[in-house]
Structure 1
Amino acid sequence: MRLAGLWPALLTPLHDDLSVDDRALRALVEDLISRGVDGVVPLGSTGEFTEFDATERRAILDTVVGAADGRVPVLAGVSGLSTRETCVHAAQAREAGADAVLVLPPLYWKVSDDRIVDHVAQVADAAGLPVVVYDFPALTMQPLTPAVLARLASEVPAVIGAKLTVRDLMAITAALTAVRVHRPDFAVVTGFEDLVVGAMWAGADGAVSGMANVIPDEMVALVAAVRDNNDDLAERYRTVLDAFDVYGLSLPAIPGLKAAAAAIGRIPRAAARLNAGPATEVAEAGKRWAAEHATTADARGTTERDDTA
């Protein structure tokens, strides 16, 4: 599996009772594949992975793998509080038919670099699949430093790449320098859409994008424009930057992103397990965003719009 291009970090659509809406999830995957994405990523941060138990997580993976049906690879988020828990999720991802796993460092406790490397190696053994490590220091408070990434690239062959959700472009260039000396094929992708152009110009391979849930065509086109040096690159980039405020609709960001997706019909409703305040306020914020970005947001949604969300 090659981690490159545009990979949507999937929202997990829910019913009003907060159970998983399998039908809407299948429809979302089907729609995104039809837009030309290179892979899909369930149970990442955008998918609210922290809010689902092991049984629910397995069911979500079964749905996504079934919907993808081998047309694009599935990179399954398997992160957990402990190495033991993460290994259970990793084994389930293999059983569900995922193509690779995405893993954060151990959560909650501050640990040493040796412990991070050991954690990833144990998860790789449990999964028996390629591993993509996931750096999101704003939430984990545990950055994957260039030194750690270099060790993972050189010491754990199953690790094929890194998703870097970092605000500093220099962190991405430092990571590229650290890993490519050991593994020229080691993939690096950004998790923030506003860094796609700079990261790919520096040598990164693409993006895992939460915004692809609401502006899929624009994200696919932006990555292609950078890769192919298209004449419309600047216009594509401005469009994506203009839509980046979707992450500011709520705190945490995912309920607001879901509200925007529901407002344009990408998912049936804005229901989220993460608590970002009164649901009606979040829904209204999503509707305002959709109205302000009517020329950009893709309203050819996967479902009929649910204005009661």
Structure 2
Amino acid sequence: MFSGSIPALVTPFAADGSFDEPAYRDFIEWQIAEGSSGLVACGTTGEAATLSYDEHFHVVRVCVDQAKGRVPVIAGAGSNDTRVASANLRAAKDAGADAALMVPPYYNRPGQEGIFRHFEALAETTPLPIILYNVPARTVTDIQPATLARIVTAFPDVFVGVKDASGVLARVSQHRAACGLDFCQLSGNDDLALAFNVMGGTGCISVTANVAPRLCAEFQAACQSGDFVKALAYQDTLYPLHEALFTDASPGPVKYAMTKVRSGFPETLRLPMTSAGETSRVAIDIALSHAGLI
């Protein structure tokens, strides 16, 4: 259902901190023209944690409206409260999203049984297919392979894929064995996407694709065609940028990089997130030059 290069879109804010809808619409047009195969609205990179409920689903609606069915839209909809997550799924559906991206409960730190019960409850009422999002570095909750397999096998029509940002490459093979070859596995780490795809992944929900959508799309196309020699060349081109975009707290670096590749793109972030520091900016400039983007 989902494959290729899928940017986790940044959310542009005007100087006063309000949502910059014209910049977002223009950004989406560019992403589609450059070859992105899907869009994630209001994920981590989209600063979802600092959006109000109304803002969050307004951004999703704008994304859906601008995409106009040309590529699927995946809405970030997770919560550490199961009831809120269920309401978010309904709101994402009402906003027109094609699927939802759902983290396990964060901060609460449920055990594996709690994780399963959370997603079991969501499966019973969700109006959308769900892509599980495992990102232990942020949630401090890790969906273990056995738990993921339990979730997917119990509700195969609901849980259609995983965005795996665990950084544990062996999980690609573990998930293939437990969930079947048709289960959609998307890398959540740009720097590991090549190895992830070699092992059976189908694409990447990407930070770098915000800045380099065409290169990321061409990289993913090379992987999908089995041309891993070509894919490795793209990896070498993009790797410094993958690293540079995390030399300061994300999405500060990626918003700075956007100002370098899209004239007039706003760099504004909402507190507690802050702009990339000088060392990060230098690293990004070098990486953008290496990739031929500036």
TM-score interval for Structure 1 and Structure 2 normalised by the shorter chain: over 0.9
Name the residue aligned to 2:285: 290
Q: Deviations over 1:20-59 (max 9, x none)?
A: 1111111111111111211101111111111111100111
Q: Is the 8 A contact 2:189 2:206 kept in 1?
A: yes
Report the equivalent of 1:129.
128
Q: Which residue of 2 aligns with 1:43?
A: 42
Alpha-carbon shift at residue 220 of structure 1 (Å): 0.6
Separation in 1 of the partners of 2:290 and 2:187? 26
Query: Normalising by the residue count of structure 1, what TM-score does the alignment of the two structures yield?
Result: 0.88
Q: Partners of 1:209 and 1:121 in 2: how far apart?
A: 27
Q: In 1, Cα distance between the equivalents of 2:92 and 2:258?
A: 27
Say whether residues 1:174 and 2:171 are aligned partners.
no
- Picking from 227, 231, 234, the partner of 1:233 is 231
Tell me the equivalent position of 2:241: 243
Residue of 186, 189, 198 corresponding to 2:186: 189
Aligned to 1:303: none
1:217 paired residue among 192, 214, 220: 214
Q: What residue number does 2:199 align with?
A: 202
Shift of 1:297: 5.6
TM normalised by structure 2 equals: 0.93
- Between the aligned partners of 1:110 and 1:123, the Cα distance in structure 2 is 18
3-state DSSP of counterpart to 2:160: strand
Asked if structure 2 preserves the Cα contact closer than 8 Å seen for 1:259 and 1:287, the reply is no
Q: How do 1:22-33 residues align onto structure 2 when only pairs under 5 Å count?
A: 22-33=21-32
Please show how residues 14-93 of structure 1 align to structure 2 within 5 Å: 14-93=13-92
Counterparts in 2 of 1:298 and 1:87: CA distance versus 1, 3 Å: farther
- 2:77, 2:101 within 8 Å by CA — same for their partners in 1? yes
Amino acid paired to 1:109: N
Aligned CA distance change for structure 1 residues 274 and 126 (closer, same or farther; 3 Å): farther
Q: Structure 2 vs 1, CA of residues 266 and 168 (structure 1 numbering), >3 Å: closer, same or farther? A: farther
User: Once the 2 structures are TM-superposed, how far is the Cα of residue 100 of structure 1 from its aligned partner?
Assistant: 0.5
Residue 187 of structure 1 deviates from its aligned partner by: 0.7
- Superimposed CA distance per residue, residues 260-307 of structure 1 (whole angstroms, 9 cap, x where no aligned partner): 112322761211114345x4x6378436623552252645xxxxxxxx
Shift of 1:177: 2.3
Q: How far apart are the structure 1 equivalents of 2:123 and 2:74?
A: 13
Cα displacement (A) at 1:126 = 4.0
Shift of 1:89: 1.4
- Provide Cα deviations, 1:221-243, integer angstroms capped at 9, x if missing partner: 11111111335222111012121
Structure 1 residue aligned with 2:110: 111
How many Å separate the matches in 1 of 2:255 and 2:278? 9
Query: Relative to structure 1, is the Cα distance of residues 298 and 269 closer, same or farther in structure 2, using a 3 angstrom cutoff?
Result: same
Q: Which residue identity lines up with residue 95 of structure 1 in the other structure?
A: D
Structure 1 gap ranges (5+): 300-309
Tell me the distance in 2 between the aligned counterparts of 1:287 and 1:23. Answer: 29
Tell whether the 8 Å contact from 1:255 to 1:275 is kept in structure 2 after alignment.
no
1:35-89, CA deviations, whole angstroms, 9 ceiling, x for partnerless residues? 1211101111111111111100111011100011011111110012311111221
Report if the CA contact (8 A) 2:191-2:243 is conserved.
no
Gap regions ≥5 residues in structure 2: none
Aligned counterparts of 1:198 and 1:170: Cα–Cα separation in 2: 10
CA distance in structure 1 between the partners assigned to 2:18 and 2:36 by the alignment: 27
> Which stretch of the first structure deviates more once superposed, 138-147 or 252-261?
252-261
**RMSD, aligned CA:** 1.9
2-side partners of 1:115 and 1:297: how far apart? 47
* Counterpart-to-counterpart distance in 1, 2:144 and 2:264: 36
Tell me the matched-pair count: 292
Contact map agreement 1:243 1:293 (CA 8 A) in 2: yes
Mapped pair 1:259 → 2:245: no
Structure 1 partner of 2:12: 13
